[in-house]
Amino acid sequence: MKFPGRFTSGLVLLISSFAAFAQSELVVKVKPANNALKANVEGYIGSLGDRDEAALLRFKRGAQEQALKASQALGYYQPTIDVEVKPGDPPRLELSIDPGEPVHLRNVNVRVEGPAASLKAFQIPASDDLKPGAVLNQGNYEQAKRMILNRALRYGFFNGKFIKHELLVDPKGGFADINLVYESGPRYVLGKVSFAGDAPFDQTLLQRMVPFKPDTPYDSELIAELNQNLQSSGYFEIVRVDAAPSTAVGQVIPVDVDLQTRKPRTMTLGLGYSTDTGPRGKASWTRHWDNPRGDSYGF
């Protein structure tokens, strides 16, 4: 079969374009096999894009540095890393890694001081990943820090800080020490809830939707519950709840709520079908609120 010259040249151009944009291949070999380390190295190096052989040769040192960081993150501080560029279409970057012996945790000190230490919800759960003898994983150390900070934000310890946060590694000795101490400072409390906006409702009705009393210890879940109660009431088009620590007086956070009331009535149109009468329309009115007490009905 013969093809028109223009079609043939277009096909050659298309094939050339695919070849030009072919992704360079990354091959990571870890011996003895370690899937977690292999995946971490691949993640640190990332995509090679469409680097040609010359570009991969220039990238060899950078790839080796990223592989070392990825190894250290999982406790392998003295790996042997060989990097080669293999020509081809596309070219390949190959890393051969012997991780060596991992670093193990020796001393682990993770604790919370201050008022938060007596709060059951703030207690740090025991973890096999952060105990003497476990292989060092920097991700577990960072996760412990994030957990403490997240709980501090949830439970209102806004002045807290780490007074010690050390990860000390002795690669030659093969051990690491963790020293992580958080001073919580005082716990903030929720103040009075004030409503603003165009809501025509009685304060008694609005206050019934508040799931806490003034001076209740701060918990962000209570703020979320207040917002949900107002949203699900059906009275409001827009609800904004502001309980920012920056507005606190002492350790008391005022709770300011801005409300935009929805229209008191809405009509819903529908279409039905009956075998006796055929298609027929349907309309229903809903009165979402009728008075400051929030009475509602539909018909």
CA nearest neighbour of 239 among 218, 210, 214: 210
Place of tokens 């539909």: 298
Dihedral sign, CA of 125, 130, 133, 134? positive
Largest CA distance in the chain: 89
Question: For residues 170 and 249, what is the distance between their CA atoms, to the nearest angstrom?
Answer: 47
The one-letter amino acid at 270: G
Top-confidence residue, 3 or 44: 44
Residue 91 pLDDT greater than 80, yes or no = yes
Q: Starting at the edge strand that comes first in sequence, how are the strands of the sheet with 189-197 ordered? A: 216-217, 189-197, 252-261, 236-242
Q: Which pLDDT score, from 0 to 100, does residue 167 have?
A: 97
Residue 280: predicted pLDDT: 52
Q: Which two tokens stand for residue 141?
A: 């150390």
Give 265 or 36, the one with higher predicted confidence: 36
Q: In what order do the strands lie in the sheet with 25-30?
A: 25-30, 92-98, 80-86
Average pLDDT on 246-252 reads 96
119 near 51, Cβ under 8 Å? no
* Domain annotation for the chain: domains and CATH numbers: 24-98 (3.10.20.310), 104-183 (3.10.20.310), 189-261 (3.10.20.310), 265-298 (no CATH)
Q: What's the mean pLDDT in 178-196? A: 97
pLDDT digits (tens, 9 = 90+) for 151-162: 999 999 999 999
Higher local confidence (pLDDT), 11 or 241: 241
User: Considering only CA atoms, which of 84, 80, 115, 114 is closest in space to residue 100?
Assistant: 80
Indicate if the pLDDT at residue 216 is higher than 60.
yes
Q: Grade residue 170 by pLDDT with cuts at 50, 70 and 90.
A: very high
Between 54 and 297, the more confident residue is 54
Q: Is the pLDDT of residue 196 over 80?
A: yes
Q: Tell whether the model's pLDDT for residue 52 goes beyond 90.
A: yes
Sequence letter at residue 191: G
Within 13 Å of residue 264, how many CA atoms lie on the same side as its CB? 13
In this predicted model, what pLDDT tens digit does every residue of 30-43 receive, in sequence order? 999 999 999 999 99
- Enter the tokens of residue 222: 């209570």
List, for residues 106-154, the tens digit of each pLDDT value: 999 999 999 999 999 888 888 899 999 999 999 999 999 999 999 999 9
pLDDT over 80 at 47, yes or no: yes
CA distance 48 to 234: 53
Mean of per-residue pLDDT scores for the chain: 86
Nearby residues of 247 by Cβ (< 8 Å), 6 or more positions away: 253, 254, 256
Alpha carbon 247 to its chain centroid, in Å, reads 26
CB 107 within 8 A of CB 136: no
Least confident range of 17-21, 241-245, 253-257: 17-21
- What confidence score (pLDDT) does residue 117 get? 96
Q: 192: which 2 tokens?
A: 């009075």
Select from 155, 183, 144, 172 the least CA-distant residue to 77.
172
Tell me the C-alpha distance between 74 and 64, whole Å.
16
Higher model confidence: residue 120 or residue 262?
A: 120
Give the model's pLDDT for residue 259. 92
pTM of the predicted model over 0.85: no
Mean of pLDDT values over 185-196: 96
Q: What is the pLDDT of residue 127?
A: 87
Q: Return the pLDDT at 288.
A: 43
Q: What is the mean pLDDT of residues 53-66?
A: 97
The model's confidence at residue 277, banded by pLDDT at 50, 70 and 90, is: low
